[in-house]
Amino acid sequence: MRTVQITLPGIPPSLNAFAGRANAWDYRASKKKWTEAVLWTLKKRGIRLPEPFERAHVTVCYFFPDRRRHDPDNYCGKLLMDGLTRGGIIADDDFRHITLTLAGEVDRDNPRTEITVQER
């Protein structure tokens, strides 16, 4: 079973940061930032697949800097999935192609986002 794992510094913003805003530019800018972070991390690590995983299990683990409450549905990985698709890791981010697991931990000294993609 092939596996790809990357770590991104920081945590993408909660989707609540964009809820109810009339201006979609903040969302677009954040989506672009995190998509590019995934792409650059893949490139920097030299991760390139001959073909994307047609079916995969994606696990996103957020390491938050504190123990405040964080709802998983607000950290659904949306800002990261396009990077995995554009980077050629997964064929698409729909239910036909991926299953998704979300997890949250605390690391005060090193907040980060770890993404693991396993071929199914």
Nearest alpha carbon to residue 61 among 119, 118, 116, 117: 116
Domain with 21 in it? 3-119
118, 57 Cβ separation under 8 angstroms: yes
Closest CA to 70 of 9, 19, 11, 120: 11
pLDDT reported for residue 21: 65
State the pTM of this model.
Answer: 0.94
The count of structural domains within the chain is: 1
CA distances to 11, 22, 104, 116, 118 from 74, in Å:
12, 19, 12, 19, 23
**Is the per-residue pLDDT at 27 higher than 90?**
no
The CATH number given to whatever domain includes residue 71 is 3.30.1330.70
Q: What is the pLDDT of residues 63-120, one digit of tens each?
A: 999 999 999 999 999 899 999 999 999 999 999 999 999 999 999 999 999 999 999 9
Q: SS3 of 98, please?
A: strand
